[in-house]
């Protein structure tokens, strides 16, 4: 399937007349491509100046300031590794009547919505996402992975372990559930160990958490635990990989997380902003207030989340990864969360970028594949109109998106329009 400057011809059925003559020759699998950049953030905290990135096939093979000829001229933009969102619900959508239909739909229409969410996310510069599990995720992950659909690389939980106290099951039953997820194709295990933001008591015991995270570890799977307050420490002590949300954890809890190398994935604004913006669409759907008025108390939540991230960011060494909890209304707006981190919580802009690049790759166990601009890694490369270190709102202006060596978006001022092919 061919693409021109981000337009999927798939949806245009032959109406995809290029604006200017382009070669009809498909690039061979190992085609050499050179990107020129004035400024390239390497994803690990470094910045390369006046350089060129050489790509062959799906991989970055070299950094060479003298490389020629230039295929993509991204000078004047800020180049960085494709972002990673460590917590999304990629299938969560608004339905025909505009109301939230959640993420569990399995109709043809639902499938198109899911594909559309993936497309929006990729266009926003996110080349990898970790999704928390729904019936459609496996098929979507596989379709993107085999090149049938454009979208970010997806890691999926398939289904989640929802804590319901003793009813959740015995330690042995919980271990069996984890094994079942692995057999179903899960890349990670999602665990709900507490209620919601305002009803945040533990819903799994220490023993149950120990069983879930230990079994996952034995199978080589990571565990992401929805946790507030005391559930944060319990999940950390159970050896789970990453804490989602985490509000209510004490400094002492956060220090224990740091000692154990547990990742923290906090949200600082976009989630609440989205609920308030789309209150009409969420009102009366499962898990949400029945009326728009019922959403009013959510106005008080951003300051609480932001105070938490400010406090967490001061714990030396604590690994804070970028995860938006993207639901309906947020797909393609994931980068807004960076603005909340930097503007509202005092996070250093470079640290914010790292949290969605090399640190997120480490949290996903994919350091050798994504999250940095370096030889040997997948060619996941984006470019922003502006420098996020000076103006964090530059994250809204994604001008170029390459994933695995394929260009999906190319609105760079000096960029040469080039077709890219999705591999068979
Ligand atoms: Zn979530």
Summarised one tens digit per residue, pLDDT across range 253-282 is: 999 999 999 999 999 999 999 999 999 999
Q: Indicate which CATH number applies to the domain containing 411.
A: 2.30.40.10
Residue 212 is assigned to a structural domain of this protein: no
Quickly state the pLDDT bin for 415 (edges 50, 70, 90): low
Q: What is the DSSP letter of 406?
A: E
Non-local (6+) Cβ contacts of 148 within 8 A are 422
User: In this predicted structure, what is the pLDDT of residue 24?
Assistant: 33
Instruction: List, as ranges, residues with CB under 5 A of the ion ligand 1.
Output: 325
Residue 398 is assigned to a structural domain of this protein: yes
Q: Looking at per-residue confidence, does 10 or 298 come out higher?
A: 298
What's the gap between Cα 383 and its chain centre?
A: 17
**Dist. CA 36–CA 150, nearest whole Å:** 25
Q: What is the mean pLDDT of residues 185-194?
A: 98
Share of the chain above pLDDT 70, in %: 90
Q: How far is the CA of 244 from the centre of ligand 1 (A)?
A: 8
Q: How far is the CA of 157 from the centre of ligand 1 (A)?
A: 11
**Dist. CA 402–CA 409, nearest whole Å:** 7
Residue 312 is assigned to a structural domain of this protein: no
Q: Does an H or E element contain 257, and which?
A: helix 251-260
Residue 105 is assigned to a structural domain of this protein: no
Cis check for the bond before 69: say yes or no (omega within 30 of 0).
Answer: yes
Say if residue 26's pLDDT is above 60: no
Q: Judge contact between 305 and 272, C-beta under 8 A.
A: yes
Q: What is the mean pLDDT of residues 125-129?
A: 98
Residue 363 is assigned to a structural domain of this protein: no
The tally of domains found in the chain comes to 1
Say if residue 174's pLDDT is above 80: yes
Pairing mode, strands 222-227 and 242-245: parallel
Residue 186 is assigned to a structural domain of this protein: no
Q: How far is the CA of 346 from the centre of ligand 1 (A)?
A: 24
CA 77-81-84 angle, 5° bins? 125
Structure-block tokens of residue 258: 């740091």
Q: How far is the CA of 91 from the centre of ligand 1 (A)?
A: 12
User: In this predicted structure, what is the pLDDT of residue 421?
Assistant: 40
Tell me the H-state helices in 78-205.
Answer: 108-123, 137-145, 171-184
Q: How far is the CA of 88 from the centre of ligand 1 (A)?
A: 6
Q: How far is the CA of 76 from the centre of ligand 1 (A)?
A: 36
User: In this predicted structure, what is the pLDDT of residue 16?
Assistant: 29
Considering the chain, what is the average pLDDT of its residues?
Answer: 91
Residue 38 is assigned to a structural domain of this protein: yes
* Dihedral angle sign, alpha carbons of residues 233, 236, 240, 243: positive
Share of the chain above pLDDT 90, in %: 87
Residue 31 is assigned to a structural domain of this protein: yes
E strand spans, 246-347? 263-265
Domain extent for 381 = 2-81+371-421
Q: Judge contact between 189 and 221, C-beta under 8 A.
A: yes
């Amino acid at each position: 399937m061919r693409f021109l400057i981000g337009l999927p011809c798939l949806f245009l059925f032959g109406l995809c007349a290029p604006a200017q003559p382009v070669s009809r020759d498909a690039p061979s699998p190992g085609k050499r491509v050179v990107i020129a950049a004035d400024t390239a953030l390497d994803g690990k905290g470094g910045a390369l100046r006046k350089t060129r990135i050489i790509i062959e096939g799906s991989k970055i093979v070299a950094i060479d300031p003298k490389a020629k000829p230039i295929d993509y001229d991204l000078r004047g933009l800020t180049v960085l590794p494709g972002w990673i969102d460590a917590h999304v619900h990629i299938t969560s959508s608004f339905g025909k009547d505009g109301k939230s239909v959640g993420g569990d739909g399995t109709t043809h229409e639902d499938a198109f919505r899911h594909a559309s969410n993936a497309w929006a996310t990729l266009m926003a510069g996110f080349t990898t996402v970790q999704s928390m599990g729904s019936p459609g995720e496996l098929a979507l992950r596989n379709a993107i992975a085999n090149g049938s659909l454009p979208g970010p690389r997806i890691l999926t939980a398939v289904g989640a372990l929802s804590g319901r106290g003793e009813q959740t099951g015995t330690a042995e039953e919980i271990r069996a559930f984890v094994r079942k997820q692995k057999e179903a194709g899960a890349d990670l295990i999602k665990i709900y160990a507490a209620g919601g933001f305002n009803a945040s008591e533990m819903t799994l015991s220490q023993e149950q958490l120990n069983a879930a995270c230990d079994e996952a570890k034995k199978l080589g799977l990571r565990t992401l635990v929805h946790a507030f307050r005391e559930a944060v420490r319990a999940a950390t002590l159970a050896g789970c990989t990453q804490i989602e949300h985490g509000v209510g954890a004490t400094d002492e809890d956060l220090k224990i997380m740091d000692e154990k190398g547990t990742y923290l994935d906090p949200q600082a604004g976009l989630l609440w902003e989205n609920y308030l913006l789309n209150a009409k669409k969420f009102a009366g759907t499962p898990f949400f207030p029945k009326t728009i008025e019922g959403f009013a108390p959510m106005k008080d939540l951003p300051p609480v989340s932001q105070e938490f991230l400010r406090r967490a960011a001061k714990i030396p060494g604590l690994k804070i990864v970028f995860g938006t909890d993207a639901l309906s209304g947020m797909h393609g707006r994931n980068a807004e969360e960076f603005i909340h981190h930097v503007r509202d919580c005092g996070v250093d802009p470079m640290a914010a970028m790292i949290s969605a690049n090399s640190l997120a790759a480490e949290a996903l166990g994919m350091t050798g594949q994504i999250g940095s601009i370096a030889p040997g890694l997948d060619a996941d490369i984006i470019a922003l109109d502006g420098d996020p270190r000076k103006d964090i709102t530059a994250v809204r202006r994604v001008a170029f998106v390459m994933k695995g060596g394929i260009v999906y978006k190319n609105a760079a001022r000096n960029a040469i329009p080039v077709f890219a092919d999705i591999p068979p």
